[in-house]
Amino acid sequence: ERRAALAASSGPGATSDGHKVPLLANVGGPADVPAAVEAGAEGVGLFRTEFLFLDDSTKAPSEEKQADAYRQVLEAFPEGRVVVRVLDAGADKPLDFLTPSDEPNPALGVRGLRTLLDHPDVLRTQLTALAKAAEGLPVYLEVMAPMVADRLDAKAFADACREAGLQAKFGAMVEIPSAALRARSILQEVEFLSLGTNDLAQYTFAADRQVGAVSRLQDPWQPALLDLVAASAEAAQAEGKSCGVCGEAASDPLLACVLTGLGVTSLSMGAASIPYVRATLAKHTLAQCERAASAARAADTAEDARRAAQAVLSGE
């Protein structure tokens, strides 16, 4: 029965009453594109470009090599959106030639956008490669920065994009609680937000995402995390801009309904999860998703939040 439901699941993501929630794929490069297309992804919500940087530990890939990989992904979604994240080096994704080796707490050190602002040449090459890759394609390119902490970070990134002559929308990932709390101020500089719930959970709960012993605190159902998602989505709505989710949270079908109810405007996940999320979303109205979201936020623990949302969505 489950297989039949999944087979019947195709087309754009939407609630049963037609509220659209584009379902996008997380990819690491051209090799992940066929699975994304097969799953009916409406585009790419997170292109993790650091995979391109793993071949050589001494320098960044050339502009040509980068442009070639970016173009292959852009060409796969001629009608859709492609959201490319600029290099997110450091912490759980260290790169020898960029990441400081002497920091006591790499997750709190120079990583993500901070690394790129310290190495403007690397950022410039990446943005120029993206501009070249998108040239002449009708695709709707969006480029976002990881680990944006405040408005100054967002402005520095948007300035770098403009200086590189990039014709795209510029966005900020919300992965640090300060960014969620002051999302409206960040949105004065950029055109969209994308919640990286993996890192947002890590920094909200002071719980290293690589340490299994604290995994209870990494649970994306934690009501404090849902509060930060709601704050970001509300800020985006107030500014007339979009706020997606591209962390693991989006791949849990029940949580995807809750995120929709919190006001999130798109969901990006590993391709394999898309049919499940699409099928579950299609069973519930937006109003039910909103009630499930309120019930989850009223809970005190992740487990109770999940149970409360489940109860609302199964009509108990």
The contact set with ligand PEP (CB under 6 A) reads 46, 48, 88, 175, 196-199, 246-247
Q: How many residues line the site for Mg ion (CB under 5 A)?
A: 3
Question: Counting contacts by CB under 5 A, is residue 32 touching Mg ion?
Answer: no
Question: Counting contacts by CB under 5 A, is residue 199 touching Mg ion?
Answer: yes
* Exposure class string for 147-182: b at 16+ Cβ within 10 A, else e: bbbbbebbebbbebbeebebebbbbbbbbbbebbbb
Of 189 and 199, the one with the shorter C-beta distance to ligand PEP is 199
Of 153 and 175, the one with the shorter C-beta distance to Mg ion is 175
For residues 205 and 177, is the Cβ–Cβ distance under 8 A? no
For residues 189 and 78, is the Cβ–Cβ distance under 8 A? no
First to last CA, the chain: 22
CA–CA distance, 60 with 277 (Å, rounded to integer): 36
Q: Choose the one of ligand PEP, Mg ion, none that binds residue 48, judging by a C-beta under 5 to 8 angstroms depending on kind.
A: ligand PEP
Q: What minimum distance in Å lies between the beta carbon of 178 and Mg ion?
A: 15
For residue 229, give the nearest of 256, 189, 191 by alpha carbon: 256
Of 203 and 292, the one with the shorter C-beta distance to Mg ion is 203
CA–CA distance, 57 with 154 (Å, rounded to integer): 28
Q: What minimum distance in Å lies between the beta carbon of 5 and ligand PEP?
A: 28
Stretch that binds Mg ion, among 65-73, 159-167, 199-207, 257-265 (CB under 5 A): 199-207
Q: What minimum distance in Å lies between the beta carbon of 60 and ligand PEP?
A: 18
Reading the block at residue 304, the tokens are 């109770």
**β-bridge partners, 193:** 172, 243
Q: What minimum distance in Å lies between the beta carbon of 283 and Mg ion?
A: 30
Question: Counting contacts by CB under 5 A, is residue 244 touching Mg ion?
Answer: no
Q: What minimum distance in Å lies between the beta carbon of 260 and ligand PEP?
A: 18
- In the DSSP assignment, the letter for residue 269 is E
Of 88 and 191, the one with the shorter C-beta distance to ligand PEP is 88
Interactions with Mg ion, residue window 145-184 (CB under 5 A) = 175
For residues 14 and 20, is the Cβ–Cβ distance under 8 A? yes
Give residues in contact with Mg ion (CB under 5 A).
Answer: 175, 196, 199
